[in-house]
Structure 1
Amino acid sequence: MQVTETLNEGLKRAYTMILTAQELDDKVTAKLKEAQPEIEMKGFRKGKVPLPLLKKQFGQRVLGEAMQEAVDGAMAQHFEDKGERPAAEPAVKMVNEDWKEGDDVEVEMSYEALPEIPEVDLSTIKVERLVAKADDEAVDEALANLAESAQDFKDRKKGTKSKDGDQVVIDFVGKVDGEAFEGGSAEDYPLVLGSNSFIPGFEDQLVGVKAGEEKDVTVTFPEEYQAEHLAGKEAVFECKIKEVKEPVATEVNDELAQKYGAESLDDLKGQIKERLEAEYAGAARAVLKRKLLDEMDKLVSFDLPPSMVEAEAKQIAHQLWHEENPDVQGHDHPEVEPTEEHNTLAERRVRLGLLLAELGQKAEVEVSDAEMTQAVMEQARQYPGQERQFFEFVQNNPQMRQQLRAPIFEEKVIDHVIGLAEVSDKDVSKADLEKAVEALDEE
């Protein structure tokens, strides 16, 4: 196939490829010869059908396949000869749209090439890694939070009215237009007033009730309520107040520890300390990663594929717009145009993404099957009851697999960079670490 370069500007490339009618005919003939031994036709033994007859019978069917294989083969050979990699799937179109059998096939291919990434001496990078330890105050604060979440309740004095924060044990029947509806009834239900676990307005109306009372609670279901047949409708809940209980502080002792699966209070404290320090280490890694990327960004400069920068800038602008407009859930909104700031950030992300990919390839960084399985399992937990369907979806969706693989690959490359850079540890307080993390969002 004849290949002629028509554009070579920066990273933009374009070529015209001509597949002659004779080359195409030869490919069709070759494919028919390959299939000939297995073909049966009336009047001929298996494998003995003459080639001209096969061409007349099946030539048109094989033609498109032969043409596609010729173009794909020419493209693969082109990239191998040039030593280039396209930034995205090349755009390929047939030039002579009025093509008929017997004509040459003229195809135009265009793409943006990935740039050559310069060598980087990672040993010249010097960064600090923040190290925070969980002190007794932090452990005690976490213990207090656990005790609060394990809150107990005791009966209030008979005749005492309920207060916000109390627990009321109730039987209730919900009715819309006088008819009880499915899922709107319960017995001996323990409801903490102020927990906002029921429809807005429900709990407020039970403040001030006594044990033994009956009270009708009237509420209106939200317009966006999950059960469509109840959305926006007024409902009356007939409630019987069986008990009114006040919250009591849970003692921080071995009994509390055992509620959380620890053998003793000291054992629970040890577990909390480990968990807190794991959280601190995760935060410190995020800070270290940003510092590493900042230093790496200073070390490299190369041309970037315009389409990659444009796509990244649009994604950044779109994401930030939704963060500023949290009430808009869908994408039915005016197109968001990237700003100069978005473009600058996009250039940094694309540049560092290409650099990390190059470093990972050279270091032969691999994402194992076990790591991918773990990532899929973690994602599947977000879809309780549908884990199997999610696994099948990922298995049949290469783009989804790449989305799951990319962050694992990136973190492993960052580990590789950390191993080569000069990293010194710096002891800091929890407050200092929190300030460093907050600063990440401000940059």
Structure 2
Amino acid sequence: MEIIVKKTIDKKLNKQFDITIPKALIEQKVEDYINKNKENFSLKGFRKGQIPSGVIKEKYGKTIMADELDKLINSKVSSIVKDNSFKLAMQPKVDAKEIDFAQDVSISLSLEIFPEIPEIDLHKIKVTKREAVIDNNDVKQELQKFNKFFATWEKQDSSYKAKNGDAVIIDYVGRVDKVEFEGGSAKGHQLELGSKSFIDDFEEQLVGKRAGDEVKVKVKFPKAYHAPKLAGQSAEFEVKVNEVLVAKLPELNQEFVKEKFNLDDPKALEDLLQKDLTKRFEEMSLEIFKNEVMEFLNKKYDFELPKGLVDEQTNALWRNVESEIEQNPDKFKNDKEKEKARKVKEEQSIEMIRGAMILSKICEQNKLEASKEDFDKELFTILQNFKGQEDKVIAYYQKNPQAIESIRAKIIEDKAINFLINHKSIERKSMNLKDFEKYCTKANEEIRSRFAV
């Protein structure tokens, strides 16, 4: 009554097996379970613990069989992995063919194997971490932006020319190739000039205009624009300036700061903004650095990846595209264009997976591990987004090993990136805030355009 295992595919990164579990073995496991737990069964008309085995089997047999079969499968899968020293890249895939307990049960098992990753020479990682230097002028400018939340807007007469920092009330109609497009028109819209709320140099073309002016504004949508039909397109907007408004800012005195923020004085507000700016731009610096490290590592190291893992990640990315298709059925002109887009998402998946594996290798080489404290901290951060549902979230992670693994993977990636930042091969470059923001905008746009579909 032994389980029969036959290897059907023996590729480097994929192993597949046919497993046959004898009917007699399953029946024996059921008998053993009933005999061991007989005293725990209860059924109307019988004393607890006095139910005949045949009655228990007739009443609960199929459920017990299914449970015992699961145990046999899990045990055999574990032994196959352990006996062959397989390092799995993802959870085993078990495909149980149509189960008939009247005969032997056959299942197929597919294992995706973690690839051999070469040693990573940290001295050859040439990536620059760019960092913003926050000075007093940056804080004062941030203070002015912050103060505008509490501004009152005063209407100007028709002789006043709009400046950066002023607001205009406009009606506009946008057209691409002389055809109006969805979301390209509005009436009575308030737009602050210089806020970069609108694309390209739309706002700059309204500087110097007066109430009553009518303007033709010409712009070009970014290549990575969220609406695919408009991405990279030139557009013309007919704009009417109805009003020009100037912001009247409140005085940032002790009374105002105390009332609005419960702070002792304006200096305390400046210190708070300084910390916020520093934290915000350090997070941006870290994210850009990570993206550039991942891109560098993918170019430097090339190795085969498990197909199942790539397919799984590609499917996850493609689900977002499918949501876009639901909103815009004409997103792709034909199946060929759609297939090309899926290929882009597959390439993105490959970079994500390979980069994550290399970062994991860096941690392994340098004995960096995800501790329980690290895990608890990361889980706490996740729970902050699910106030009142903490128990459900924790239960979800307890029942889903892959979800747990995703937390561990993020911790490992973060540890590797933080380790690299302090390695002597990594150059650091300080930039003023304006140049740093320009660099981040350009870097993010390049990333989006690489994988835009």
> RMSD value over aligned CA atoms?
4.3
Question: Whole-Å Cα distance in 2 between the matches of residues 439 and 142 of structure 1?
Answer: 22
1:308 CA displacement: 2.6
Question: Whole-Å Cα distance in 2 between the matches of residues 141 and 251 of structure 1?
Answer: 15
Q: 1:317·1:338 contact (CA, 8 Å) conserved in 2? A: no
Q: Do the aligned partners of residues 321 and 434 (structure 1) sit closer, same or farther apart at CA in structure 2, a change above 3 Å counting?
A: farther
Q: 1:143·1:252 contact (CA, 8 Å) conserved in 2? A: no
Q: Which residue of 2 aligns with 1:438?
A: 441
Question: Whole-Å Cα distance in 1 between the matches of residues 376 and 339 of structure 2?
Answer: 39
Amino acid at match of 2:421: I
Q: More displaced, 423-432 or 73-82?
A: 423-432
Q: Do the aligned partners of residues 27 and 250 (structure 1) sit closer, same or farther apart at CA in structure 2, a change above 3 Å counting?
A: same
Q: Which residue of 1 aligns with 2:381?
A: 374
Residue 368 of structure 1 aligns to a residue whose secondary structure is: helix
Residue 337 of structure 1 aligns to a residue whose secondary structure is: helix
Q: Does 1:150 align with 2:155?
A: no
Question: Whole-Å Cα distance in 2 between the matches of residues 272 and 40 of structure 1?
Answer: 67
- 5 Å-filtered alignment, 1:339-378, equals 339=341, 340-357=343-360, 359=362, 363-366=368-371, 367-377=374-384
Question: Whole-Å Cα distance in 2 between the matches of residues 141 and 270 of structure 1?
Answer: 13
Q: Which residue of 2 aligns with 1:268?
A: 269
Question: Whole-Å Cα distance in 1 between the matches of residues 246 and 20 of structure 2?
Answer: 85
Amino acid at match of 2:378: E
Question: Whole-Å Cα distance in 2 between the matches of residues 331 and 126 of structure 1?
Answer: 43
Residue 302 of structure 2 aligns to a residue whose secondary structure is: coil
Q: 1:287·1:437 contact (CA, 8 Å) conserved in 2? A: yes
Residue 304 of structure 1 aligns to a residue whose secondary structure is: coil
Question: Whole-Å Cα distance in 2 between the matches of residues 41 and 320 of structure 1?
Answer: 53
Q: Do the aligned partners of residues 141 and 55 (structure 1) sit closer, same or farther apart at CA in structure 2, a change above 3 Å counting?
A: closer
Choose the corresponding residue for 1:410, options 399, 413, 417: 413
Query: Gaps (5+ residues) in structure 2?
Result: 172-185, 191-210, 212-244, 448-453
1:78 CA displacement: 1.1
Question: Whole-Å Cα distance in 2 between the matches of residues 139 and 267 of structure 1?
Answer: 12
Q: Does 1:394 align with 2:421?
A: no
Q: 1:120·1:299 contact (CA, 8 Å) conserved in 2? A: no
1:249 CA displacement: 3.7
Question: Whole-Å Cα distance in 1 between the matches of residues 41 and 322 of structure 2?
Answer: 61
Q: Which residue of 1 aligns with 2:308?
A: 307
Q: Which residue of 2 aligns with 1:30?
A: 32
Q: Do the aligned partners of residues 42 and 265 (structure 1) sit closer, same or farther apart at CA in structure 2, a change above 3 Å counting?
A: closer
Give the greater-gyration-radius structure (CA): 1
1:152 CA displacement: 4.6
Question: Whole-Å Cα distance in 1 between the matches of residues 303 and 135 of structure 2?
Answer: 46
Question: Whole-Å Cα distance in 1 between the matches of residues 330 and 32 of structure 2?
Answer: 52
1:265 CA displacement: 3.2
1:22 CA displacement: 3.1
With normalisation by structure 1, the TM-score equals 0.65
1:262-281 CA-partner distances (Å, limit 9, x unpaired):
43333333333332222222
Amino acid at match of 1:27: K
Question: Whole-Å Cα distance in 1 between the matches of residues 27 and 377 of structure 2?
Answer: 48
Amino acid at match of 2:286: R
Q: 2:375·2:411 contact (CA, 8 Å) conserved in 1? A: no
1:341 CA displacement: 3.7
Residue 73 of structure 2 aligns to a residue whose secondary structure is: helix
1:100 CA displacement: 4.9
Query: Gaps (5+ residues) in structure 1?
Result: 166-191, 209-244, 381-386
1:419 CA displacement: 4.5
Q: Which residue of 2 aligns with 1:384?
A: none
Question: Whole-Å Cα distance in 1 between the matches of residues 63 and 323 of structure 2?
Answer: 49
1:408 CA displacement: 5.0
Residue 110 of structure 1 aligns to a residue whose secondary structure is: strand
1:6 CA displacement: 0.8
Q: 2:128·2:428 contact (CA, 8 Å) conserved in 1? A: yes
Q: Which residue of 1 aligns with 2:288?
A: 287
Q: Which residue of 1 aligns with 2:86?
A: 84
Residue 127 of structure 2 aligns to a residue whose secondary structure is: strand
Q: 2:375·2:408 contact (CA, 8 Å) conserved in 1? A: no
1:4 CA displacement: 1.1
Amino acid at match of 2:125: I
Residue 93 of structure 1 aligns to a residue whose secondary structure is: strand
Question: Whole-Å Cα distance in 2 between the matches of residues 8 and 304 of structure 1?
Answer: 15
Q: Which residue of 2 aligns with 1:130?
A: 130
Q: Percent identity?
A: 20
Residue 4 of structure 1 aligns to a residue whose secondary structure is: strand
Q: More displaced, 61-70 or 255-264?
A: 255-264
Question: Whole-Å Cα distance in 1 between the matches of residues 100 and 322 of structure 2?
Answer: 47
Q: Which residue of 2 aligns with 1:188?
A: none
Q: 1:112·1:305 contact (CA, 8 Å) conserved in 2? A: yes
Amino acid at match of 1:395: I
Q: Does 1:422 align with 2:429?
A: no
Q: 1:375·1:404 contact (CA, 8 Å) conserved in 2? A: no
Question: Whole-Å Cα distance in 2 between the matches of residues 73 and 360 of structure 1?
Answer: 31
Amino acid at match of 1:372: L
Q: 1:394·1:401 contact (CA, 8 Å) conserved in 2? A: no
Amino acid at match of 1:79: V
1:354-409 CA-partner distances (Å, limit 9, x unpaired):
333455576221333243123221x23xxxxxx31x43442343369656776455
Q: Which residue of 2 aligns with 1:20?
A: 22
1:350 CA displacement: 1.6
1:68-103 CA-partner distances (Å, limit 9, x unpaired):
2211211111111122244444443345x48453x3
Aligned residues: 357
Amino acid at match of 2:83: D
- 5 Å-filtered alignment, 1:35-54, equals 35-39=37-41
Amino acid at match of 1:122: L
Q: 1:124·1:422 contact (CA, 8 Å) conserved in 2? A: yes
Q: 2:368·2:415 contact (CA, 8 Å) conserved in 1? A: no
With normalisation by structure 2, the TM-score equals 0.64
